[in-house]
Homo-oligomer: A and B are copies of this chain.
Amino acid sequence: MITEGLKGRDFITLRDFSKNEIETMLEVGLRLKAENAIRRDHRDVLPGRTLLMMFFNPSLRTRNSFEAGIFQLGGHGHFLEPSATRMPTLEGEDVAYQSERIADVARVLSRMGDAIAVRILGGAVEWQYEKSLKIINEFAKYAEVPVINMEDNIYHPNQGMADAMTLWEHLGRDLRGRKLAVSWAYSPSTKKPIAPHHDFMYAASFFGPDIVFAHPPEMRIDPDVEAAIKANVELNSGSYRVVDNMDDACDGADMLYAKNYVCLDLLPPVTSEARHDEMAKLFGKYRCWIADERRMRMLQRAGFFMHCLPCDRGFEVADAVLDDSQWGTPCYDEAENRLHAQKGVMASIIP
């Protein structure tokens, strides 16, 4: 655990942080979680600080965990929807009096708050894969305070932190020798982000597990992120392997992470625009990709299920799995850990 070098940093992707730094933020989060459990007030951690939360997309977990988290640390979160401000835009996309250049929004917000958090993905950027991260980076370029990524098309680092915290709690801090089954799953929706898969695996990779990732051939993840996951997990004495069916992943695994996500090959920049109809048809071939009781029984005895939520019950995961106290509870722990992990991040980086 290191205590230097985090204050003032942006939190945009886990790839910007060392294992040591990630561990520090997780330990801080767990310490605050324990204090919460005994109702010990810690509003002296970030007294009077303000977090400006900008949501271009709907949110339940992210919004409530950040808003409650900054409050419990002594601060206040502003819930900002672009519809109630003006649309922050990149240079060249200005619309007089309806938009405001991010260069200005970021500078102005920096003068009024202690950190800026942004969620932007999917439809909010017409499914242009790299654009949402570009926008968050533009905020970071001009902001004089830390910028926190609350999910873009590529990364969801706060979800990754909550996932790592949940794995620590259920499997221990050392994941070497543990088999993590990770999988695509079916949903009638074609709008689910891929970022949670990326960051579940990247966050886990710091602790050396054997990751077995199952997906239909068409549902590849981002090759650059995949290479980073593989390199990081191997550096930490683990392994990364891809298989083409859920059963192979589940067999003997310690846990199963299964969730739907979009097909990158039917979205920009591969296609000129999002092809959701085609994607729905493609997904239809893989309806049997569900986390059900049979597959849960293929795991180790104390095996469990994880999903960042919201989930499509009956499609991605069976009710019987989610509602089982052994299998399903870690999923709600994972949601709760959004609060604690993010408090660890905020307490570490907000000056």
10 pairs of A and B residues whose beta carbons are closest in the complex: A111-B336, A96-B189, A97-B189, A100-B310, A60-B85, A96-B188, A71-B76, A108-B335, A50-B68, A64-B112
Stretch of A130-138, A235-243, A311-319 lying at the B interface? A311-319
Query: 25 A-B contacts, Cβ less than 8 Å apart?
Result: A41-B48, A48-B72, A50-B68, A58-B86, A60-B80, A60-B85, A60-B109, A63-B85, A67-B78, A68-B76, A68-B78, A94-B314, A97-B192, A97-B310, A97-B312, A100-B309, A100-B310, A101-B313, A103-B323, A104-B310, A107-B335, A108-B309, A111-B332, A111-B335, A111-B339
Assembly stoichiometry (copies): 3
A residues at B contact (CB < 8 Å): 39, 41, 43, 47-48, 50, 52, 55, 58-61, 63-65, 67-68, 71-72, 76, 78-81, 83-86, 94, 96-97, 100-101, 103-105, 107-109, 111-113, 187-189, 191-192, 309-315, 322-323, 332-333, 335-336, 338-339
A104 x B311 contact (CB < 8 A):
yes
Please determine whether B112 and A336 come into contact, CB atoms closer than 8 angstroms: yes
Q: Whose C-beta in chain B lies nearest to the C-beta of A314?
A: B94
Given A43-B47, A101-B313, 20 extra CB contacts under 8 A = A43-B48, A50-B68, A58-B86, A60-B80, A60-B105, A61-B108, A67-B76, A68-B78, A81-B84, A94-B314, A96-B187, A96-B188, A96-B312, A97-B187, A97-B192, A97-B310, A100-B309, A103-B323, A108-B335, A112-B336
In the complex, the chain B residue whose C-beta lies closest to that of A47 is: B41
Do A71 and B58 have beta carbons less than 8 Å apart?
A: no
Chain B nearest Cβ from A72, distance in angstroms: 6
- Residue among A85, A105, A314, A336 with most chain B CB within 10 A: A85
Q: In terms of DSSP, what is the predominant structure of the interface of chain A? A: mixed
Contact B84–A63 (Cβ < 8 Å):
yes
Q: Is the CB of A85 within 8 A of B59?
A: yes
- The residue that A64 contacts in the complex, of B68, B109, B333, with Cβ under 8 A, is B109
Quote the shortest CB–CB distance from A45 to chain B (angstroms). 11
Q: Could you say which residues of chain B place their CB within 8 Å of the CB of A108?
A: 60-61, 309, 332, 335-336
Beta-carbon contact of B71 and A85 below 8 Å:
no
Nearest B residue to A323 by beta-carbon distance?
A: B103
- Cα distance, A85 to B62, chains bound together (Å): 10
Q: Which of B64, B72, B188, B339 contacts A52 (CB 8 A)?
A: B64
